[in-house]
Amino acid sequence: MAAAGSIANPADVVHLTHDEISDALRAATPLNFRLTVAERAAEIERYHGVELPPAIGTQPPGPPPDNPGLRTLTKFFGVQPEDSDDPSVLLGAAGSAGVVRGPAKVVRSLADADKIVPGDILIAETTAPPWTPLFGTVAAVVTDTGGVLSHCAVVAREYGIPAVVGTGFATAKITDGQMVEVDGGRGVVRIISD
């Protein structure tokens, strides 16, 4: 499509729908999708810095229904954390016991993992199996999402490092290099200094 002039660069195809790509490949003359690509790329850029709310809608009044399925989901996905009165404290679920201090490293994707050095505190939105090797290097892990049965919590327990999961917004509040204390047994993360 790029060679035919429908799009400027081969990577621009990610901004097109399946139907648009199919139409372009079947067309006798090249279709021009450059404006469509530019508009969609601009829309993505507009939303790039938007901070998402922790939840959408209003929590129903009263405690949630008590059933085995919901209890399991809550342990895997976690619940919205309580707010802390202290702006230097983040609360979450106790994913793996232990207390450790170290410099924070915010890693949003594995492409940023090369900035991790031994003793760092990994701050991530979530973790998945490809992240597991990082647990052997870091001193502790803190995530925005997850519960006590999430990937992060289970793997941190296997590696014997502290973890606090489901903090809601650790990646937004903590910055690279800040000294933090992770208390994985209590589910508390304290920002000590910049």
Please give the angle made by the CA atoms of 144, 145 and 150, to the nearest 5 degrees. 135
Note the Cα 96 to chain centre separation in Å: 18
The strands making up 89-91's β-sheet, listed across from edge to edge, are 89-91, 188-193, 179-183, 99-106, 121-124, 140-143, 163-165, 93-96
Is 18 marked active-site? no
Q: Is 189 helix (H, G, I), strand (E, B) or coil?
A: strand
Task: Classify domain 69-193 by CATH number.
Answer: 3.50.30.10
Give the model's pLDDT for residue 187. 95
pLDDT tens sequence across 36-55: 999 999 999 998 878 777 66
Q: Is the C-alpha dihedral spanning 114, 119, 120, 124 positive or negative?
A: positive
Q: For the chain, what are the domain ranges? A: 10-47, 69-193
How many angstroms separate the CA atoms of 184 and 96, rounded? 5
Catalytic pick from 15, 18, 48, 151? 151
Q: Note the pTM of the prediction, 2 decimals.
A: 0.69
For the record, the structure tokens of 170 come out as 């650790």
pLDDT tens sequence across 69-117: 777 777 777 777 778 888 899 999 999 999 999 999 999 999 999 999 9
φ/ψ of residue 126, rounded to 5: -160, 170
